[in-house]
């Protein structure tokens, strides 16, 4: 992702409906892990950018490190008081089996050799450790936005599952996200000339927040969306 896009994301992520709901999704996943008996431990937030997800991890008792490939992203995270590593997700400078949780939201689609990054997730996780992954889905939604933010591909359920399982991880759950707003996203992408990362009028942002939050309570996870979410673990 270009430096300007990272700075734009960092400026928007505290208020923009998309990033706020993604943090809420992460928080719910962490609560579910806790309810299942998983104690907070060492966590890595790959592609942390401004560190919004890293702060969610910290708020839930995890000991997170933000990992960023770009200098701008790393600087933003440091400015926000986070522990940061600059590195390539394909070659993590971390020991094997040392992490309890790895979060990789909107990372794999930026990497040509996504199988190498997935293999690193597996290597650095301890046996029984959890990976939480999000990717954009469906090449029919490919647009100038994907080009602007540096995407290599968009996934479907089969291709995402394949790269995760090939790395040696076990998929526990796979679901769609941003289902209700997919028609709006498809229309906008057809007419877009660049990134969708824009500041929105308050009333629009509030309305979109209400729509996306409604998905928490509706049976839409198996329907086509704009993103795919996945939870996996390294087998013991």
Above 60 in pLDDT, residue 2?
no
pLDDT value of residue 5: 62
Domain span at 74:
3-233
Domains of the chain: total: 1
- Residue 202 belongs to a domain with what CATH number? 3.40.50.150
Above 80 in pLDDT, residue 3?
no
Q: Say what the pTM is.
A: 0.92
- 202's CB contacts (< 8 A; 6+ apart) are none
pLDDT value of residue 109: 97
pLDDT digits (tens, 9 = 90+) for 73-86: 788 888 888 999 99
CB 33 within 8 A of CB 56: no
DSSP string, 198-223: ----HHHHHHHHHHHHHGGGSS-TTS
- 147's CB contacts (< 8 A; 6+ apart) are none
Please give the sequence-ordered ranges of beta strands (E in DSSP) within the chain, or none if there are none.
42-46, 63-68, 84-86, 99-105, 125-136, 170-177, 227-233
Above 90 in pLDDT, residue 180?
yes
Q: How far apart are CA 225 and CA 179, in angstroms?
A: 4
Look up residue 154 and give its DSSP letter: -
pLDDT band at 64 (very low <50, low <70, confident <90, very high): very high
- Cα angle value 16/18/23 (rounded, 5°): 95
Q: How far apart are CA 164 and CA 117, in angstroms?
A: 10
pLDDT value of residue 1: 54
Above 90 in pLDDT, residue 34?
yes
pLDDT digits (tens, 9 = 90+) for 85-143: 999 999 999 999 999 999 999 999 999 999 999 999 999 999 999 999 999 999 999 99
């Amino acid at each position: 992702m270009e430096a300007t896009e990272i700075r734009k994301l960092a400026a928007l992520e505290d208020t923009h409906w998309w990033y706020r709901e993604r943090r809420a999704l992460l928080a719910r996943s962490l609560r579910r892990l806790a309810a299942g008996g998983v104690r907070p431990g060492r966590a890595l937030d790959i592609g942390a950018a401004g560190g919004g997800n890293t702060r969610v991890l910290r708020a839930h008792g995890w000991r997170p490190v933000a990992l960023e490939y770009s200098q701008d992203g790393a600087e933003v995270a440091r400015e926000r008081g986070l522990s940061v590593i600059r590195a390539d997700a394909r070659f993590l400078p971390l020991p094997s089996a040392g992490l309890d949780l790895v979060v990789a939201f909107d990372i794999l689609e930026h990497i040509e050799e996504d199988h190498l990054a997935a293999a690193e997730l597996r290597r650095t996780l301890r046996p029984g450790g959890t990976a939480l992954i999000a990717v954009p889905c469906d090449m029919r939604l490919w647009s100038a936005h994907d080009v602007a933010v540096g995407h290599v591909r968009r996934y479907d359920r089969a291709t995402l599952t394949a790269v995760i399982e090939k790395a040696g991880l076990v998929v526990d759950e796979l679901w769609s996200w941003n289902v209700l707003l997919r028609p709006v996203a498809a229309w906008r992408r057809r007419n877009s000339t660049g990134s969708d990362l824009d500041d929105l009028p308050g009333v629009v942002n509030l309305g979109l927040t209400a729509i996306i939050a409604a998905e928490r309570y509706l049976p839409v996870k198996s329907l086509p969306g704009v993103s795919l979410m996945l939870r996996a673990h390294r087998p013991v």
